[in-house]
Amino acid sequence: MRTQPHPLYIPSDRRGVQQRFKEIGFKGAYSHDLVHDIANGFSYIMQGEPIENSFVETDEPYHQNIQNFIAGIDYSKLSGKSPLEKASAAIALLSGDDEDATEEGGGEGSPIPIFSNNSAKELNKKMEKMQEDVEQIREAGEAAQHYLKANKCPEVKVASLSKGDVRVLEYLAVLNSKGSIKSQKILATTKNIQMDEYGQIGRLANFSAMGMPTFNYKFATKQLIVKKNKVANKQSLFLLIDDSGSMDERKKVSWLRALLLNRLQAVIDGKAVLFITTFIGDIDESNTLKASTKEEALALLKWFPCLEGGNTNVERAVKNACKCINKGFIGNHKITGENPQIVVINDGEDEIGDFKPSIITHGFILGQDNEGMQRMIESSKGEYKRLL
């Protein structure tokens, strides 16, 4: 026995533990002893007491190692609220670190390989790294989570993510925090309308009406005037992707995936209609992709350009994108949404003349700076960002 539960905490029985792991989709083996040790530790934290109060005095180095590990867990970063939820989250992380980590113990105090072969400090460091990866997935949003599922990355075994997937999440975190082109639903000007439901009373256009003798009558007959913000259409975004062979480099590919996820997330959030097309000499109108709903955005998570083309012509691509926007069609797609803007992604290996787009154009450069492209983008009042 290594730990004891807080007097106010009743530990879950074996069936309750099994049910919890079933709920989170965990199919591996695990030690019930370790689950209870972690849960017992958190039961003291919940009551504002030191976690060490849960420890049972022992002279066995192995048990002390487990106690040291439990004391080093950052419970605030584990998902869940109850002791069992926190413990199951910790076990899921440990399972990603070592296939033997969750080997069924077979009874109280049975050795678990990771605590025989590693120090508690080393395990806590590994666990912290996995918690950071989990947090990145959460912050990245629904698009990233579905992307990982589409690529068969188990949600609970964070350590099984490839280096490329972790890199994409890191880049996506950068975009989400400060580097992305923001898209928002456009609010039309507020207008006054006659109320059509009683719940609108909080948006009275003239609160002095509440002091008038006729207020109750007008409220009962829905004759009061209230304010209404009309949500206009979603923003229309055009993603022009450099499809040249020079884009086919490890970091460029990861940034491109992150940018795609970032823009698809805007569709999932209901903020944008996204049109995606590649370009070399010109935009590929006939193969333009459109995502205006969550379902359409999720369907595009596996899509990626071929990156096999030759020399690009950004100026020509942007000119023709502007023409398409002005005529209201790109390929077979009718352009919907408001405040259309263009986002160009390329590696800067292109010459651009003195051209000012008629549509606001943004640029993400994955490589060398390009003064001509920067001048073109800034002249349209767009944002120019170099990511590599």
**In this predicted model, what pLDDT tens digit does every residue of 196-237 receive, in sequence order?**
888 888 888 887 777 788 888 888 888 989 888 766 678 999
Domain count, the chain: 3
- Amino acid at position 3, single letter: T
- Residues 121, 224, single domain; the answer is no
Asked whether the CA dihedral 386, 172, 336, 324 is positive or negative, the reply is positive
DSSP-assigned letters across all residues of 329-353: EETTEEP-SEEEEEEEEE-S-S---
CATH number at residue 311: 3.40.50.410
**382, 321 contact by CB (below 8 A):** no
Please report, in angstroms and rounded to a whole number, the separation of the first and last CA atoms in the chain: 54
pLDDT at 132: 74
Q: Tell which of 89, 111, 127 closes a domain.
A: 127
315 and 216 share one domain: no
The mean pLDDT value for 40-50 works out to: 96
Domain hosting residue 282, numbered range? 235-386
- Other residues' Cβ atoms within 10 Å of the Cβ of residue 160: 13
180 in any annotated domain: no
222 with 273, same domain?
A: no
The per-residue DSSP string of 231-278 comes to B-PPEEEEEEEE-BGGG-SHHHHHHHHHHHHHHHHHHHTTSEEEEEEE
Among all chains, which residue has been given the structure tokens 């797609």? 333
* pLDDT > 60? residue 174: yes
CB atoms closer than 10 angstroms to residue 105: 16
What is the pLDDT, as a whole number, of residue 202?
Answer: 80
pLDDT at 382 over 90: yes
Tell me which of 228, 244, 278 is where a domain ends: 228
**pLDDT digit string, tens, across residues 330-378:** 999 999 988 999 999 999 888 888 999 999 999 999 988 899 999 999 9
Residue with tokens 């390329």: 346
User: Confidence class of residue 99 from pLDDT cuts 50, 70 and 90?
Assistant: very low
Identify the CA nearest to 251 among candidates 163, 187, 181, 375. Answer: 163
Dist. CA 212–CA 10, nearest whole Å:
59
